[in-house]
């Protein structure tokens, strides 16, 4: 789902004194332990904390101030996108990598709107996870692989004033630049992104063919 804007055939050597600290958030202990074992084998990466829920993730992030947070989308209290929004709010936020067993383009767009730096499918966890963490630690930007069809379809579900924001985010435009172009304050842009995220997490609207009759009952 995420690719780097620059290609690197091999990760650059990491200075032992420059350790990248990582927080892992997943509701399954076995998954957390597996990721920790994987990352602990990588030079220059240290898992400083793990958590199994939204609340625990926030607590551990505030306590350890990790460089990178690896966040599962499915959490028992609130989802990983809500956690992403909370994590990227502070002045010095961690870079966030969202992962999910269902990392499709729609979820990729939602993760992008939430403020995530990358998204990865659970079926690809392994060396790709290590590579992305290393790249994010070096300050590289990732671009989300979103097709024009999905972008247009999702845009139809948003308020008209939010469609330019979606387009610029998908193009990799910095949020500060987006705010400047649209004449918004940082707080106003943050509020619009939260509203967009709420719409994206709702079930997609399906247009009924002409002449169809909706079934009776609650929607």
pLDDT digits (tens, 9 = 90+) for 142-199: 878 889 999 999 999 999 999 999 999 999 999 999 999 999 999 999 999 999 999 8
Strand order in the sheet with 95-100: 45-51, 20-25, 68-72, 95-100, 118-121
pLDDT above 90: percentage of residues in the chain = 65
pLDDT in tens, 109-119: 999 999 999 99
Structure tokens at 192: 């619009």
- Per-residue pLDDT averaged across 99-114, rounded? 90
- Per-residue pLDDT averaged across 19-42, rounded? 94
pLDDT band at 133 (very low <50, low <70, confident <90, very high): very high
pLDDT band at 207 (very low <50, low <70, confident <90, very high): very low
Higher-confidence position of 177 and 201: 177
pLDDT over 90 (residue 213): no
Query: 2-144 has which CATH code?
Result: 3.40.50.2300
pTM for the full predicted model: 0.82
User: How much is the pLDDT for 184?
Assistant: 96
CA gap 151, 170 in Å, rounded:
8
CA gap 25, 116 in Å, rounded:
14
In the chain, how many H helices and how many E strands?
A: 9, 7
**Which of 138, 187, 141, 146 minimizes the C-alpha distance to 166?**
146
User: How much is the pLDDT for 68?
Assistant: 97
pLDDT above 70: percentage of residues in the chain = 84
- Cα distance from N-terminal residue to C-terminal residue, the chain: 32
């Amino acid at each position: 789902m995420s690719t780097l804007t620059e290609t690197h055939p091999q990760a650059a050597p990491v200075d032992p004194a420059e350790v990248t600290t990582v927080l892992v958030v997943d509701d399954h202990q076995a998954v957390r332990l597996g990721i920790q074992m994987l990352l602990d084998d990588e030079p220059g990466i240290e898992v400083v904390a793990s958590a199994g829920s939204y609340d625990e993730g926030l607590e551990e992030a505030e306590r350890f101030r990790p460089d990178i947070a690896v966040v599962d989308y499915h959490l028992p209290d609130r989802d990983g996108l809500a956690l992403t929004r909370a994590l990227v709010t502070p002045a010095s936020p961690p870079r966030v990598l969202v992962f999910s067993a269902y990392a499709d383009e729609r979820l990729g767009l939602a993760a992008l709107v939430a403020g995530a730096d990358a998204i990865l499918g659970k079926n690809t966890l392994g060396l790709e996870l290590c590579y992305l963490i290393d790249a994010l630690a070096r300050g590289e930007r990732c671009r989300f692989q979103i097709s024009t069809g999905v972008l247009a379809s999702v845009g139809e579900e948003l308020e008209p004033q939010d469609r330019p924001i979606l387009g610029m985010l998908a193009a990799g435009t910095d949020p500060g630049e987006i705010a400047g172009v649209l004449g918004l304050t940082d707080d106003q842009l943050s509020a619009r992104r939260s509203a967009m995220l709420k719409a994206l997490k709702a079930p997609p609207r399906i247009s009924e063919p002409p002449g169809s009759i909706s079934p009776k009952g609650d929607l």
